[in-house]
Amino acid sequence: MNPFESLGLKHDGRSLWVLDQTQLPDAEVWLDGSQPEVMIDLIKRLAVRGAPLIGVAAAASLATFASRGASASDFAIACAALRAARPTAVNLMWAMDRMKDAVEPMAEAYAIFTEDVRLCEDMAAHGAALIQDGEGLLTHCNTGGLATAGIGTALGVIRRAHEQGKHIHVYADETRPLLQGGRLTAWELTRLGIPATLITDSMAALLLRDGRVQRVLVGSDRVAANGDFANKVGTYGLAVQARFHGVPFHPVAPFSTVDLACPNGAAIPIEERDQAEVRGYGALRWAPVGVPAWNPSFDVTPVELVTSLVLDRGVFSAEELKVGTLARLSTAPPVHGPMGSLPPPDFLGHQIGEESP
């Protein structure tokens, strides 16, 4: 079995390791996620997070469990438990459904990993073609190498545009309540040397009004058949603000995030998390003890607010999505990026020549 590695996950051939995203940006601590029950806890507390990455990590954990001699019934129980670790990101269910019947679990986990790397490259190629030199780009949550096995979804698009020499400036929402933007996107952008400014979520409307943002790019945890999509809470508000200011708004997702079983956004299950995450952060609490708080982790943006969806299979307008394009695409062979001449990704999910983490 080949070892494999991405920014937030590595398998050394015997054990699976994940970068504890709750400790970033202050400490880079790798945790052993080889046991499914440990991986479930890591996923629930967002030490491992991001829709594609939780699918990849769950698959790799399950495969490691199998390689250590788990019985068929223990494997099936672990698979079902991992599948239920978080409810909104359909990539987790998609990956576990592939693993459930896998004849060679490690080969299947490796395939899920390498496919995700390729899907990121294809999204990046399609999405970067939309970005013009000089654009200000607004993004939400973390959608980069930490959230996938490859270069990311929305942040992968942004990274590719930067690598193409386009002069872009990224505005990163801090993303309340768990600060994936402030902690993780800011960390990735800094490492990549992409010009960026961190803002609080409540500053986005002002930036849009002042004409400093020409495009909004976000990820997705589940895209319904009609193009409505769930993403980190705050995305819907950004879409409303972008529409009001006439700024293009693009979700970016691999086809593993599309759930044709959900006819529209109302069918997407939304995770609700502990109220304590709204009352404070970590050991710090700023709200009165016991004050009622509401903590939906995701919201749903209706397709009417989408300019176009960037998929690994191409870019599709809201009009195309509304008439069942996603269902038709599910039976069509994938098309690799519009450039044709993209370098193949190395399986580490980094560009060749880039410094390793």
Helix axes 51-67, 105-128, angle to 10 degrees: 160
Nearer to ligand MRU, 231 or 301 (CB): 231
d(CA 329, CA 274): 37
Measured at CB, which residue is nearest to ligand MRU?
Answer: 219
Task: Name the residue with tokens 């223990």.
Answer: 74
The CB-of-156 to ligand MRU minimum distance in angstroms stands at 9
- Token readout for 2 is 């080949």
Contacting ligand MRU within 208-227 (CB under 6 A): 219-221
Q: Which residues pair with 316 in a beta bridge?
A: 309
Interface with ligand MRU by CB under 6 A: which range of 6-14, 146-154, 238-246, 287-295? 146-154
- Token readout for 35 is 């046991």
Inter-residue contact 233 to 195 (CB < 8 Å) = no
**Three-class SS of residue 18?**
strand
The answer to the question of residue 50 lying near ligand MRU (CB under 6 A) is yes
Given the residues 116, 122, 201, 221, select the one marked as catalytic: 221
Interface with ligand MRU by CB under 6 A: which range of 9-17, 45-53, 203-211, 279-287? 45-53
Whether 20 is catalytic: no
The answer to the question of residue 147 lying near ligand MRU (CB under 6 A) is yes
61, 64, 180, 185: residue in contact with ligand MRU (rule CB under 6 A): 180
* CB burial of residue 65 (10 Å; 0-12, 13-18, 19+): buried
Task: Name the residue with tokens 């788990």.
Answer: 70
The CB-of-298 to ligand MRU minimum distance in angstroms stands at 7
Interface with ligand MRU by CB under 6 A: which range of 6-14, 48-56, 158-166, 278-286? 48-56
Inter-residue contact 56 to 117 (CB < 8 Å) = no
Interface with ligand MRU by CB under 6 A: which range of 1-9, 43-51, 242-250, 262-270? 43-51
Angle value at C-alpha 182, between 184 and 252, nearest 5 degrees: 60
The closest alpha carbon to 169, from 200, 128, 215, belongs to 215
Contacting ligand MRU within 76-95 (CB under 6 A): 89
Which amino acid belongs to residue 31?
L
The answer to the question of residue 52 lying near ligand MRU (CB under 6 A) is yes
The site for ligand MRU (CB under 6 A) is made up of 46, 49-52, 89, 141, 143, 147-148, 153, 180, 219-221, 231-232, 297
Active site residues: 221
